């Protein structure tokens, strides 16, 4: 397995992976919509990592760098093809995504998980993420989201954040 940065030439294969996901179908993700979103992510400087097994795309990590919420990056999507799950691909993608967030000076990494997705919730808890709340009907009506956070680095010691306007 190889993990590489996604390029524009990869968006068709990544969109197909997204559209084939039973979970993402619940959010009405289509191949065309996924492709449009991935193209926008690349234009905006989001981090897109893909896992390849041979030449086949087996997984995707989508990280949105931000300075909001005390420099928290947002893990928009971690997706592994159903046929490739439980082989360490998700863990490898997550490790690389966390490293990218740290390089971008993120202090935290936040993510949403469908509340009923017990496997994903256990996966993130096992990787040091803490459930901090539930957002009812947040992304889509009828689907509640669990909010998870992981601290990537502490606030620098002895440094206070300046108040706005000072």
Give per-residue pLDDT as tens, 60-82. Answer: 999 999 878 888 999 999 999 99
Tell which residue, 141, 64, 140, 78, has the closest CA to residue 109: 64
Domain boundaries, the chain: 2-151
Output the CATH code of domain 2-151.
3.40.630.30
Contact 57, 38 (CB under 8 A): no
Condensed to tens digits (0 to 9), the pLDDT of residues 15-40 reads: 999 999 998 998 899 999 999 999 99
**How many CA atoms, within 13 angstroms, populate the side-chain half-sphere of residue 26?**
15
Buried b (16+ CB within 10 A) or exposed e, 74-84: bbbbbbbbeeb
Condensed to tens digits (0 to 9), the pLDDT of residues 141-164 reads: 988 999 999 999 876 654 555 555
Compute the distance between CA of residue 73 and CA of residue 66 in angstroms, rounded to an integer: 5
Condensed to tens digits (0 to 9), the pLDDT of residues 81-115 reads: 999 999 999 999 999 999 999 999 999 999 999 99
DSSP 54: T
């Amino acid at each position: 397995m190889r993990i590489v940065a996604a390029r524009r030439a990869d968006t068709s294969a990544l969109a197909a992976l997204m559209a084939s996901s039973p979970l993402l179908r619940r959010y009405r993700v289509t191949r065309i919509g996924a492709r449009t979103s991935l193209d926008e992510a690349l234009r905006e400087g989001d981090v897109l990592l893909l896992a390849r097994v041979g030449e086949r795309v087996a997984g995707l990590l989508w990280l949105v760098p931000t300075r909001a919420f005390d420099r928290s990056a947002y893990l928009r999507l971690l997706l592994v093809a159903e046929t490739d799950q439980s082989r360490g691909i998700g863990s490898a993608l997550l490790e690389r995504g966390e490293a990218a967030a740290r390089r971008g000076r993120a202090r935290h990494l936040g993510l949403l998980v469908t509340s009923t997705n017990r496997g994903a919730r256990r996966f993130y808890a096992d990787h040091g993420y803490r459930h901090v709340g539930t957002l009812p009907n947040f992304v889509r009506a009828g689907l509640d989201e669990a909010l998870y956070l992981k601290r990537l680095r502490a606030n620098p010691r002895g440094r206070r954040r300046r108040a706005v306007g000072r």
